[in-house]
Structure 1
Amino acid sequence: MDYIDQTGHKITLTVTPTRIISLVPSQTELLYYLDILPIGQTIFCVHPSDKYAKSTKIGGTKKLQLDKIKRLNPDLIIGNKEENQKEQIEELRKTCNVWLSDIHTISDSNNMISSIGDLVNRQDTAQKLINQISIGFKNVLQSNTTISVLYLIWRKPYMAAGRDTFIQDVLHHCGYLNSIEQEDSRYPELTNEQIATLNPMEVLLSSEPYPFKDEHMQELQKTLPEAKISLVDGELFSWYGPRLLKTIRYLNAKKSSL
């Protein structure tokens, strides 16, 4: 059967794949959620934590161990357009079936869940997960108010999640208004002066890729004395798939304090 991935690439599978390698943490977690045990995953695929130690590691998301991957003889490799390197994906495609996601929105994430459910013959479980995510975010949005927010992912220089990013779509689904969504760059650099001019009501400091700490909250509070500044688990805003269930629970708990 032919399958078209989210980049428009076609792969052909004659049987349901059983030797699957995942190149992306979010999608590794999805495979386990669907009761599929991958034969290889990256060093960053840390969830579920109880499976990590015994899993076979095949390098990082952008530094894959191509020879090791080929020796594992997978019948399917699942990756992501943004998180993996184009050159390495092209090399793997010479000998392996590679299915790529391309995710900018929660809708894209749900489509990815559905597609992987089809690939591994777990359609019912995948659809139940999609329903939980869709209903969960609908309830969060209905009970929240619009708040201007700045979501920072890096320091020195400050960098924020902007337009056409998965993080922004999650923020929108939470009832937040991204204060830099009109910027041309997806991840613009910002000075303290620019941040002060934006004057968001709330600033979210992500735990990844930059590990913001308490002292960074105090640093920014001097620039934005009236803003509410919080440290947040970056996985809850940037991981797609089943991690979004935890995002919904987090937001439901958080909204009561706003």
Structure 2
Amino acid sequence: MSARPRVVSLVPSLTEAVAVTLPGVLVGATDWCSHPAGLDVVRIGGTKNPDVAAITALRPDLVLANEEENREPDLDALRAAGIEVLVTEIRTLDQGLRELARVLAACGAPRRPRWLDDAEAAWEAVTPVGPAPDGTPLTAVVPIWRRPWMVVGRDTFAGDLLARLGVRNLYGDHPERYPRIPLDELRAAAPGLVVLPDEPYRFTPDDGPEAFPGTAAALVEGRLLTWYGPSLAEAPRALARDLRAALR
């Protein structure tokens, strides 16, 4: 790999992390890579349907991928074209911090960036929101889609962040990572809180809370709950604020 590598990112979180830390290293990113604002690189399609030919034409030294967000056939095609692919696995905060350090080093970062230290410190100092006012564990359902309803299940980054905030995911032991659960079943589970992120489905004050009458609803920025990158430094404070506001 050259001293200043040419990098393509297939993961929005990693795109932001690399762009903020190593300006100019990225030469391509997906259509969904929305941060940092104004990122000027070649767009190579989606996370699930990248344009392999367009990526190859960019002559990257390295392509960044994630085992959950990207499809193995696409990564195999890139490898077959002689391109090095770094695949991350991030399902907990600790994994995220380690993988971010590995990615940035592979992209040529001479040292660990300050924002990564700030993120680690912010989560170490987090004050849990739970338990519930009556002293019982604070439980939540976390929808990520409707029509059909889908929620955060087991073994997820979002679930780990919520646990650190003192919120137990009611479907954290479900066999599936993102199960489809009928709305009447979600209501019958009687969560103390419903957490409604604005991505991948854009829940809003008028679209989401009305499905859970009588249940506290926290509308949160999805990037703070599911992205691993510079936003991790602000995530514990902002998420705790929004969760507490919903419980008042």
Name the residue aligned to 1:203: 194
TM-superposed deviation, 1:221: 3.0
Q: Which moved more, 1:37-46 or 1:205-214?
A: 205-214
Task: Tell me, in whole angstroms, the C-alpha distance in 2 between the residues paired with 1:228 and 1:107.
Answer: 29
**Which structure: greater helix fraction?**
1
DSSP 3-state at the match of 2:196? strand
Name the residue aligned to 1:79: 65
Task: Tell me, in whole angstroms, the C-alpha distance in 2 between the residues paired with 1:254 and 1:206.
Answer: 11
Q: Give the 5 Å matches for 1:95-134.
A: 95-126=82-113, 128-134=114-120
Q: Give the 5 Å matches for 1:163-242.
A: 163-222=154-213, 225=214, 227-242=215-230
- Which amino acid in the other structure matches residue 89 of structure 2? D
Residues 149 and 181, structure 2, Cα contact 8 Å, conserved in 1: yes
Indicate which of 232, 236, 241 corresponds to 1:248. Answer: 236
TM-superposed deviation, 1:246: 2.8
Q: Which moved more, 1:116-125 or 1:162-171?
A: 116-125
Task: Tell me, in whole angstroms, the C-alpha distance in 2 between the residues paired with 1:162 and 1:143.
Answer: 21
Task: Tell me, in whole angstroms, the C-alpha distance in 1 between the residues paired with 2:20 and 2:179.
Answer: 34
Gaps (5+ residues) in structure 2?
A: 132-137
Residues 149 and 203, structure 1, Cα contact 8 Å, conserved in 2: yes
Q: Does 1:40 pair with 2:25?
A: no
Task: Tell me, in whole angstroms, the C-alpha distance in 1 between the residues paired with 2:106 and 2:183.
Answer: 47
DSSP 3-state at the match of 1:188? coil
DSSP 3-state at the match of 1:199? coil
- Which amino acid in the other structure matches residue 236 of structure 1? L
| Post-superposition CA distance 1:121-179 (Å, at most 9, x none) | 325333x3332222211222x35323211110011221110111111111112111111
Gaps (5+ residues) in structure 1?
A: 1-12
How big is the alpha-carbon RMSD for the aligned residues of Structure 1 and Structure 2? 1.8
Q: Does 1:60 pair with 2:60?
A: no
Indicate which of 5, 24, 46 corresponds to 2:11. Answer: 24
Task: Tell me, in whole angstroms, the C-alpha distance in 2 between the residues paired with 1:213 and 1:144.
Answer: 22
| Post-superposition CA distance 1:4-57 (Å, at most 9, x none) | xxxxxxxxx4x4452111111000000112123201111111101122xx3211
Q: Provide the aligned length of Structure 1 versus Structure 2.
A: 238
Q: Percent identity?
A: 29
TM-superposed deviation, 1:220: 1.6
